[in-house]
Amino acid sequence: MPSSTASEWQSALKSVLYGGELLAAAAVCYGAQQKERNDGTREEYAQANGNGDRVTEFTALDVAEPRPRDEELLPPGAVVPVAPESGDVLPVRVTEGEVDEAIAVLAEFPAEPVAEKPGAGATVLLDSTRVRAARKRSEAGTESPEETTVLFVSDTHLGYENRAKTGYGKTVSWIDAISSLTTVSRIADIALARDVDAVVHTGDILDHEVDDISLHAAEAALRTLSMEGISVYCIIGTHDHGSKHPSHPGSVDGVAWLQRQVEQGHLTELTMDSTRVADSGVDAYGISASNIGIDDVGTAYDWSFSEIAFGASSPGPNVLCLHESTSLFRGQDADLDIEELLAQSRVEFDCILIGDEHSPKDDDFDTGYTFRTDDGTPVHYTGPAIRLNDAYQDREAFVTELTISADGVTARRHDL
């Protein structure tokens, strides 16, 4: 390709053909699929479907003549693929200013083209976060978003209603009216309807006893969000930890399920190193309960918040996610003094999102979810996503849509 071709476009094409960083987590590059899903060698395939040197007859994709500006870059008589949804021909020469539109076109192509043998079941070709950002910027005509919208979720306790039969854990008197499966589906619906950039979960995704049916429903919701380009970021809580070794015969290993979701690209676990949120300007950090992440569940070690060392930060905004009882809620009885944590941090956080508390401070549904530290840093809690606390007997649980920008953070509640 000519030197004027955007480097990211070259990377995108390379990823699709041979594998690379822009390929979706579960996808396999076209080159490997050609070898694994069709009988014979590439040369034999080209002989049967072309002139022996290259393929000229295409059955898996529609093709057309290239754009006039691309003709000089291709052999005489060459054709290029046509995007199945928009009908646009795939571009070859792409400038930096055109790369978002080009990636949006490339993302229309199937993750698994028709072949002699079935594929592994992948449905998304390119990294969904990058594709979604490309589509939004192409439609808006801007280089980068000024605002990032995040659906803030906490304490879904998937499988909570199983406590009625397992007998493990405290319950509320209205447990028969609770459906964590419906809640997870509703959260996904809100994220899609509001067209948020990402979902952030601050822990206790699962209850300590969770069954296969609940996990299948949750995975379906995560897969839908992933296919729509909405990434889900998380830390985990003590109940997530407990789900690794369930006691009831109807329960399964929840931590193994969490690991699979990370491997499949449905979840991104936040750590003390920065993670870019949805290809935006926002970087997120996270500390799971007891500083034990998904792969470390079952590991016991002594640690203290004084040992926390965050990785290098960007100009921000920077967001910190926590799953510990905090001094803003519980004073000296808290597990974590946020003021001390911020004082020792090398990262200047613009916002802190917390989990674990299960109710607003002092049961005040108007002012008990939002606080400020001594230095003015906003701290938000969204409450449990299911009504597992007495404070919610006559109240609806909700999630919170946060709009994060250089000007600050605004919040909007959505009832579940």
Tell me whether residue 2 is in a domain. Answer: no
- 182 and 70 in a single domain? The answer is no
Q: In this predicted structure, what is the pLDDT of residue 407?
A: 82
**Average pLDDT in the 265-284 region?**
93
Same domain membership, residue 123 and residue 44: yes
* Of 140, 161, 180, the domain-final residue: 140
The pLDDT tens digits for 179-223 are 999 999 999 999 999 999 999 999 999 999 999 999 999 999 999
Indicate if 181 and 49 belong to the same structural domain. Answer: no
Residues 263 and 342 grouped into a single domain: yes
**Residues 34 and 160 grouped into a single domain:** no
Same domain, 105 and 196: no
Do 249 and 280 belong together in one domain? Answer: yes
Q: Do residues 104 and 173 share a domain?
A: no
> What whole-number percentage of the chain has pLDDT above 90?
54
Q: What is the pLDDT of residues 63-88, one digit of tens each?
A: 899 998 888 888 888 888 999 888 99
Binning pLDDT at 50, 70 and 90, where does residue 142 land?
Answer: very low
Domain assignment of residue 326, given as a range: 148-415
Report pLDDT digits (tens) over 370-383: 999 988 999 999 99
Query: Is this structure's pTM higher than 0.75?
Result: no
CA 234 vs CA 43, 79, 314, 380, 388: distances in Å: 46, 44, 20, 15, 20
From 117, 140, 163, give the residue that closes a domain.
140
Domain of residue 205, CATH code? 3.60.21.10
132 plus 153 within the same structural domain: no
Which residue among 140, 171, 194 closes a domain? Answer: 140
pLDDT band for position 144 (50/70/90)? very low
pLDDT of 301 strictly over 70: no
Reported as a pLDDT band with limits 50, 70 and 90, residue 138 is low
Q: Are residues 217 and 132 in the same domain?
A: no
What does each C-alpha distance from 306 to 255, 302, 309 come to in angstroms? 27, 12, 8
Specify whether 127 is located in the same domain as 176: no
Q: Is 134 within the bounds of a domain?
A: yes
Indicate whether 206 and 311 sit together in one domain. Answer: yes
